[in-house]
């Protein structure tokens, strides 16, 4: 799928079309009955009530504007040992690269890779195996990584062992980027281009960053994993089991939706299946989405 944000072309680059996870796994504190009021717009794309299963997707976003080629996140990747995640373990499906080429871009043409955060399903295609080594998939790109995000996982690596971090992704998908000299540590407010700025979205991980677009009348936010399912729009207080700091993730989500209501900003999460983006309105004191 391709869409426009003002004068920016955006292509969705799919890695895995459907990732099914039970509600109990993603949001263990939420009872399936609490989703019943929303079935008319969350079924069948985002949820199946009969099995209490959430349907997510795994994709990157390719942004092209004024000669720039920017990739937001790099999904799960190929050939990587992920024993705790059988569906991601030593994958041979390279549709991500084929989808990138189908969108008209070769890996060599990507000038910037922005990692919203360093979870396993956001950094996988950062690297690929060549001659037995993990090397950057995008040889001419700067990889933008949040400074505080990197510091957090470096600390965790010292405490627990680097190979245990993010199912092994820190070792095979992040450290090779640093070793290649292609990692650039960035902070809240970093200007990627005119009208494109990174912003802090802490909670899911301590240093998660989003990409805000404010160009003319265009307002958008690539928010990474600040939310996983559209049921969190009417219920921003529903944090996921994947969030390192649930109360902060709730505050971040609430502020994100409130700002989107007042500014008309389009929200673009990483894992929203079928519909990449939505706007938010406030109805009777609750946030409500218009899914695109
Ligand atoms: Zn994540």
Whether the model clears a pTM of 0.85, i.e. scores above it, the answer is yes
Say whether pLDDT at 143 is over 80.
Answer: yes
What pLDDT digit, counting tens, does each position of 220-244 carry?
A: 999 999 999 999 999 999 999 999 9
Q: How much distance in Å is there from the Cα of 161 to the middle of ligand 1?
A: 20
pLDDT tens string 59-98 = 999 999 999 999 999 999 999 999 999 999 999 999 999 9
**pLDDT score recorded for residue 275:** 86
- Band (pLDDT 50/70/90 cuts) for residue 4 is very high
Q: What percent of the chain has pLDDT over 90?
A: 97
- How many whole angstroms separate alpha carbon 218 and alpha carbon 203? 26
pLDDT, residue 93, reads 95
Tokens of 271: 């894992």
pLDDT at 172 over 80: yes
Distance 242 CA to ligand 1 centre (A): 7
Q: Where are the domains of the chain?
A: 2-291
- Superfamily name with CATH number, domain 2-291: Ribonuclease Z/Hydroxyacylglutathione hydrolase-like (3.60.15.10)
Please say whether the beta carbons of 117 and 110 come within 8 A: no
Contact 198, 186 (CB under 8 A): yes
The pLDDT score that the predictor gives to residue 278 is 94
Ligand 1 geometric centre to CA of 216 (Å) = 30
Q: What is the DSSP letter of 6?
A: T
Between the CA of 17 and the centroid of ligand 1 the distance, in Å, is 17
Which of 139, 155, 259, 148 has the alpha carbon at shortest distance from 200? 148
Q: Is residue 292 pLDDT above 90, yes or no?
A: no
Say how many Å lie between the CA of residue 284 and the centre of ligand 1. Answer: 31
SS (H, E, C) 161-199: CHHHHHHHHHHHHHHHHHHCCCEEEECCCCEEECCEEEE
CA–centroid distance, residue 119 to ligand 1 (Å)? 5
Give the model confidence (pLDDT) of 16-63 as tens digits.
999 999 999 999 999 999 999 999 999 999 999 999 999 999 999 999
CA of 165 to the centre of ligand 1 (A): 13
Q: Calculate ∠ Cα 241-245-248, nearest 5°.
A: 120
pLDDT attached to residue 52: 98
């Amino acid at each position: 799928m391709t869409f426009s944000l003002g004068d920016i072309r955006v292509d969705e680059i799919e890695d895995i079309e459907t990732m099914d996870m039970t509600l109990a796994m993603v949001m263990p504190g939420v009872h399936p009955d609490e989703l019943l009021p929303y079935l008319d717009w969350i079924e069948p794309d985002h949820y199946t009530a009969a099995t209490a299963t959430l349907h997510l997707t795994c994709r990157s976003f390719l942004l092209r504007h004024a000669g720039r080629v920017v990739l937001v996140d790099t999904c799960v990747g190929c050939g990587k040992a992920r024993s705790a995640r059988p569906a991601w373990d030593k994958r041979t499906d390279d549709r991500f690269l084929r989808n990138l080429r189908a969108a008209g871009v070769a890996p060599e043409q990507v000038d910037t890779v922005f990692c919203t955060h360093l979870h396993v399903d956001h950094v996988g295609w950062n690297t690929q195996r060549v001659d037995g080594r993990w090397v950057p998939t995008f040889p001419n790109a700067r990889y933008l990584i949040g400074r505080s995000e990197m510091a957090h996982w470096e600390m965790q690596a010292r405490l627990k062992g680097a190979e245990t971090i993010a199912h092994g992704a820190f070792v095979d998908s992040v450290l090779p980027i640093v070793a290649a000299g292609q990692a650039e540590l960035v902070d809240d407010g970093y200007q990627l281009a005119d009208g494109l700025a990174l912003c802090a979205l802490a909670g899911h991980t301590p240093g998660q960053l989003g990409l805000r677009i404010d160009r003319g009348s265009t307002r958008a936010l690539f928010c990474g994993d600040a939310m996983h399912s559209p049921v969190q729009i009417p219920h921003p207080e529903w944090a996921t089991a994947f969030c390192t700091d649930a109360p902060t993730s709730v505050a971040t989500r609430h502020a994100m939706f409130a700002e989107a209501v007042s500014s008309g900003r389009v929200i673009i999460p990483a894992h929203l299946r079928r519909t990449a983006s939505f706007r938010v309105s406030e109805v009777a004191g609750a946030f409500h989405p218009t899914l695109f």
